[in-house]
A and B are shown apart, each in its own frame.
Chain A
Amino acid sequence: MTDMMDRPAQDRPNEPRAAEPISTSSEWTFELIQQYDEEIAKCAAEFGLDTYPNQVEVISAEQMMDAYSSVGMPVGYNHWSFGKQFLSTSKGYQRGQMGLAYEIVINSNPCIAYLMEENTLPMQALVIAHASYGHNSFFKGNYLFRTWTDASAIIDYLVFARDYVAECEERYGLDAVEEILDSCHALQNYGVDRYKRPSPISATEEMQRRKEREEYQQRRINDLWRTIPKMNGDEDTERSKVRFPEEPQENLLYFIEKNAPLLETWQREIIRIVRKLAQYFYPQRQTQVMNEGWATFWHYTLLHRMYDKGLVNEGFMLEFLQSHSAVVYQPPFDSPWYSGINPYTLGFSIFTDLRRICENPTEEDREWFPDIAGSDWLETLHFAMKNFKDESFIQQFLSPKVMRDLKFFAIQNDDQEDVYRVTAIHDDPGYRDLREKLARQYNLSYREPNIQVWNVDVRGDRSLTLRHVPVDRVPLGGTTDEVLRHVHRLWGFDVHLESVDDGTVVQEAHCPPRNETPDDLIKP
């Protein structure tokens, strides 16, 4: 804790300190929270953080568990999987394992952050700085969020979704709705447009257009399936050449919503809801390191600024720093607590080092980051926050120093070899390689199997064929058959999945499984 007062680069060293800290007790009151927030806001403004208006909600531990269990959505439709989440959260909480209580912040306008009533005042201040100014400015500034989500519409949309699902449950029964949701959840990572910009979420529009869409959709589907399957084989050669869809489709849920022959209109609507929400969370999945790193960098910087101004005392800082170091702790790979790279640590380290590179560049920095070394740090950090996602951010800004500090190394596991190989470490020959490998690790399309809609046998048995393109021969995992059953439930006809590596089919899965009749199908 001794380095607490001697950080590099005081921001405004000559400014007189305030005579009195805002408070000295660690008990919070609503007035104090308001006062702290005002001061944090002033500091945030000094650093040019641009945020949505804030709403801070004080909640109890039970409510925090509720919020945890619904992936942070303040309202959501009902599903057993959220109940499962709740059960494991409350178990963790009762055992005292529940960690970061300041993790919940909602990308909405106003930006909603939760404070837990059990927290001490320094913790509340930390959460406000972290969530209401850190995450908030990230939501407002980062290009993925700007492009893919509409902060002002999300709450209304969630309410719409909840009500719609509840209405369906009433009308079609809990089981029918649960089945369709289960199947959609199985595919929700394949419910996003990775490359083209989606239309923004809007509850009013959804409700207005629902009717029109229902009619239009049904007409369209009827058109597609109008041709009655023909029994003669003459056209076989002809039709195998024309695929539908003409280009492979990455958004499986969208394709199913629009083209599955047998779905009822309400089922299509539910697919659409799951898909829209997946789209909303897609930027978060791609910016975890950046988002947490940015928020952690700013709670650290803003509260130190408060200390410099004399607004908080040493006791406050000690408590704050204790929490902060717990957040950015990275257990080494051989520790029993190791469960992968801590995104807080990685993101915080990169942003902190970026500032150092701007303010106190070394020879190495000038060589690696000629454009950045010695530049205005605030401008550079904001540029980095706005224009990147985890993969490109790491590729662009991970410095040799951070790789050394965290002692990164890469291990290769090839099933054709009987040893693991250390392929790169934190040294001169390894830096670039290591950085590339780490960046790829955060590429969602590398982390998740690449599976697209390949073909529908429109004039034949109406079967759907998905195509998986493996990378480095990595096969599909053990739950593939189960997921296919869900696809089958949605599609209504046979579903095939083939892994095609370099032109050859290397793995196949079918639903219903080959050699079995459809009657053998057990609903998952």
Chain B
Amino acid sequence: MGMTHVVDRRLNGKNKSAVNRERFLRRYRHHIKKAVSEAVHKRSITDIERGEKVSIPSRDTDEPIFHHGQGGKREVVHPGNKEFVAGDTIPKPEGGGGQGQGQGQASPDGEGMDEFAFQITQDEFLDFLFDDLELPNLARKKLKDTEAFKYVRSGFTSQGVPAKLDVVRSLRGAHARRLGLGGSRKRKIRRMEKELEALKSAPEDLDAAFSHEDQIKALEDEIAELKANVRKIPFIDEIDLRYRQHVKHPQPATSAVMFCLMDVSGSMTQMHKDIAKRFFILLYLFLKKSYKKIDVVFIRHHTSAKEVDEEEFFYSRETGGTIVSSALKLMHKIIESRYSPSEWNIYAAQASDGDNWNDDSPICGKLLADSILPLVQYYAYVEITPQDHQMLWYEYEKLQEQFPESFALQQIADPGEIYPVFRQLFERKAA
């Protein structure tokens, strides 16, 4: 019997099952997608970023094998008898088919409606949510060289500019060098000092020929020289210096800005706003998930438009009439000042209940056609209303004919439609 070998495996990869887990999710992707889109409808805005429990009927996940079914004659031995004696009979429950005493035993036929339930992570949730989606027409624009790189930390180097000097590392190196260079000499000094001590304390020999004086002198000289050497070791040397190294990393060759436009006027009821919010949340999450480098500009408007931050966009309230063109004008201004179309892919999504000051709608159409649509890759308009369309919709419909590639509009009547509409608007275009 050999010696037992004890091994610490804790640092070996865990997640050995990751591939198998992934295989499982792949196999049941249709079930999971369905569960995910149902969950999106039910969830409130703030808690969209978490995982989800998914249930699949066990009958779909069971692995079939040949096994015995109900019927025939069978005998089973059980433990824990209390009052039975041989020959006792026990009436079968009505509507029988039960097997022995075991209440609640899962049907081996897998006919029961039992569910196989499991948890998917937030990342997986979003992956399924945004599966197959891609921002349309995202043209890859080559950025100028100077902007196409980003400096990232990459260890240490012995050459660099003072601003990047790493003091701790440099001093640590110096300390090690001093130990390395001086250590043996210091040991030697200590040894010789001991010898010297011994010689000095030894009784003086009367015979001058055996006097220790020469030896003492020699030792003292040598010690002095060594000490001088040790002193010459510099506290810090050029070779000790360490600089933080940064290297250029190419940036993804796509950058995009997404404009979110929303009507917050009095005609937008709480329900409308809620649906609009969800649509943008979905959009926002989608962007955050898919593109690392993306700017999002939020513009809310009633009679006048205002650029706001994310928090204000979703959560503050205002009342008033509606002039949609104010938002479009502001958007155009922002594009001109900050997002040159030669460097940015520009996307916009507008949500409204379709209500607009009638004279304003043709202005909106013209603004879009003349100054905005030529600049943007894609503009999506969602009208949140169960009612008939108004002026704005018909203006926009004309635009769709004019710009079939870059303009789309859809109607949402209740929260259940958000996700399908979202998918429709952003579904992966055939390459």
Please give the residue numbers on chain A whose beta carbons come within 8 Å of chain B beta carbons, in ascending order. 30, 33-34, 37-38, 41, 45, 50-51, 53-60, 62-63, 65-66, 69-70, 78-88, 91, 110, 117, 132, 174, 178, 182, 185-190, 330-335, 338, 341, 406-416, 418-427, 429-430, 434, 437-438, 441, 448-449, 451, 470-480, 482-483, 486, 524
Contact = CB atoms under 8 A, between A and B. Distances in A.
A416 B72 CA distance: 8
Given A63-B16, A78-B23, A419-B90, A132 B73 contact: no
Contacts of A30: 6, 8
A80 B118 contact: no
B109 interface: yes
B71 A475 contact: yes
Given A87-B24, A409-B84, A422-B87, A182 B63 contact: yes
Contact of B73 (A91, A406, A414, A425): A414
Given A475-B68, A483-B65, 8 more contacts: A33-B6, A37-B6, A58-B9, A412-B73, A424-B86, A441-B77, A474-B69, A479-B66
Given A425-B81, A474-B73, A63 B92 contact: no
Contact of B78 (A91, A411, A449, A524): A411
A60 B10 contact: yes
Contacts of A86: 17, 20-21, 24
A328 B159 CA distance: 68
B7 A58 contact: yes
25 contacts: A34-B6, A51-B1, A53-B1, A53-B2, A56-B6, A63-B9, A84-B61, A87-B21, A87-B118, A188-B65, A189-B66, A330-B80, A341-B77, A406-B80, A407-B79, A408-B78, A423-B86, A426-B81, A448-B66, A448-B68, A474-B71, A477-B68, A477-B69, A479-B64, A479-B65
Contacts, number: 281
Contact of A70 (B17, B77, B108, B119): B17
Contact of B16 (A70, A110, A451): A70
Contact of A479 (B20, B74, B110): B110
Given A57-B9, A186-B63, A472-B73, A83 B111 contact: no
A419 B88 CA distance: 10
B67 A186 contact: no
Nearest first, the 7 A-B pairs at minimum CB distance are A332-B80, A83-B24, A478-B109, A474-B72, A83-B20, A473-B72, A479-B64
A478 B27 contact: no
Interface stretch (B95-103, B161-169, B239-247, B320-328): B95-103
A60 B84 CA distance: 47
Interface of B: 1-10, 12, 14-17, 19-27, 61-82, 84-92, 96, 99-102, 108-111, 116-119
A51 B3 CA distance: 11
A63 B12 contact: yes
A76 to B, nearest CB: 9
Contacts of A413: 73-76, 99-100
Q: Among A80, A335, A483, which residue has the most Cβ atoms of chain B within 10 A?
A: A80
A85 B17 CA distance: 10
A462 B8 CA distance: 55
A33 to B, nearest CB: 6
Nearest to B7: A57
Contacts of B74: 412-413, 472, 474
A80 B27 contact: yes
Contacts of A33: 6
A413 B110 CA distance: 21
B146 to A, nearest CB: 42
Contacts of A60: 10, 14
Nearest to B109: A478
Contact of B79 (A65, A333, A441): A333
From DSSP, what is the main secondary structure of chain A's interface residues?
A: mixed
A473 B108 CA distance: 18
A486 B64 CA distance: 9
A80 B4 contact: no
B339 to A, nearest CB: 42
B111 A84 contact: no
A38 B26 CA distance: 47
Contact of B71 (A34, A341, A415): A415
Nearest to A65: B17
Nearest to A332: B80
Contact of B76 (A37, A411, A415): A411
Contacts of A412: 73-75
A211 B108 CA distance: 42
B14 A421 contact: no
A420 B92 contact: yes
Given A474-B68, A477-B67, A482-B64, A59 B101 contact: no
Contact of A422 (B61, B65, B69, B84): B84
Contact of A473 (B5, B73, B84, B111): B73
Given A30-B8, A476-B66, A479-B110, A82 B79 contact: no
Nearest to B11: A60
Nearest to A345: B79
Contacts of B7: 55-58
A404 to B, nearest CB: 10
A104 B249 CA distance: 46
Contacts of B26: 80, 174
A217 B157 CA distance: 62
B14 A66 contact: yes
A481 to B, nearest CB: 9
A226 to B, nearest CB: 32
Nearest to A394: B77
Contacts of B14: 60, 62-63, 66
B17 to A, nearest CB: 4
Given A86-B21, A437-B75, A449-B66, A63 B10 contact: yes
A54 B117 CA distance: 38
A412 B90 CA distance: 10
B201 to A, nearest CB: 47
A377 B1 CA distance: 23
B64 A62 contact: no
Nearest to A69: B17
Given A55-B7, A88-B116, A419 B72 contact: no
A415 B73 contact: yes
Nearest to B105: A339
